[in-house]
């Protein structure tokens, strides 16, 4: 099992299981937001077990979103098609305007360690893991669909949240995905 080296900011976040929110961040969590007040985010933390994404700036949780994952959310992604989301530290390495799911931000999976593991096991680690918005083909509301894990291993948020995240991160922003 690999070990994740976590920067001090992550340790501080873990020590506050229920971070306090300002009125603005509570509103964003519930769906209405003011992205201009958010500013640039320097870390994204995803906690798969609680289906939450936290946007961090200067050690402070600025927003939290409810996320949807793949159909098998427990465990680290090993191979293409396993419907799992990777765990570890990655980078948000490009933005995709023409995503099939509204907008998307690519996660730098597989990293070197993931590729070595897949090679040792003789499997394809997959790729194209993204944070993305909702499917334009869904007949369900964003609120309803976010209650279920419906992706193939990506991390889904609402389109409104995707717009806010899009404006708030720069290419190269780190993302930590925790069990």
How are beta strands 130-132 and 173-178 bridged, if at all?
Answer: unpaired
Q: Residue 169: its pLDDT value, please?
A: 95
Asked if the model's pLDDT at residue 16 lies above 90, the reply is no
Residue of 21, 19, 46 lying closest to 33 (CA atoms): 21
The CA-atom distances, in angstroms, between 49 and each of 37, 68, 73, 152, 172 are: 29, 11, 8, 17, 25
The domains of the chain are located at 8-29+38-178
pTM given for the model: 0.80
How are beta strands 155-156 and 52-57 bridged, if at all?
Answer: unpaired
The tokens of 178 are what? 């925790």
Q: 108-145, pLDDT tens digit by residue? A: 999 999 999 999 999 999 999 999 999 888 888 888 88
Homologous superfamily of the 8-29+38-178 domain (CATH): L,D-transpeptidase catalytic domain-like (2.40.440.10)
């Amino acid at each position: 099992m690999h070990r994740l080296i976590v920067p001090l900011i992550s340790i501080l976040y873990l020590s506050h299981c229920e971070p306090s929110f300002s009125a603005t961040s509570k509103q964003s969590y519930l769906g209405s937001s003011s992205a201009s007040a958010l500013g640039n985010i320097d870390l994204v933390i995803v906690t798969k077990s609680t289906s939450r994404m936290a946007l961090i700036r200067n050690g402070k949780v600025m927003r939290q979103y409810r996320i949807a994952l793949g159909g098998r959310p427990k465990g680290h992604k090993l191979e293409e098609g396993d419907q799992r989301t990777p765990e570890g530290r990655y980078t948000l390495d490009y933005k995709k305007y023409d995503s099939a799911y509204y907008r998307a931000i690519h996660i730098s999976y597989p990293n070197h360690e993931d590729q070595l593991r897949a090679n040792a096991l003789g499997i394809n680690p997959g790729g194209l893991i993204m944070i993305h918005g909702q499917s334009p083909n869904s007949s369900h509301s964003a609120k309803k669909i976010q209650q279920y894990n419906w992706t193939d291993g990506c991390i889904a948020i609402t389109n409104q949240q995707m717009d806010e995240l899009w404006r708030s991160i720069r290419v190269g922003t780190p993302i930590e995905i925790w069990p």
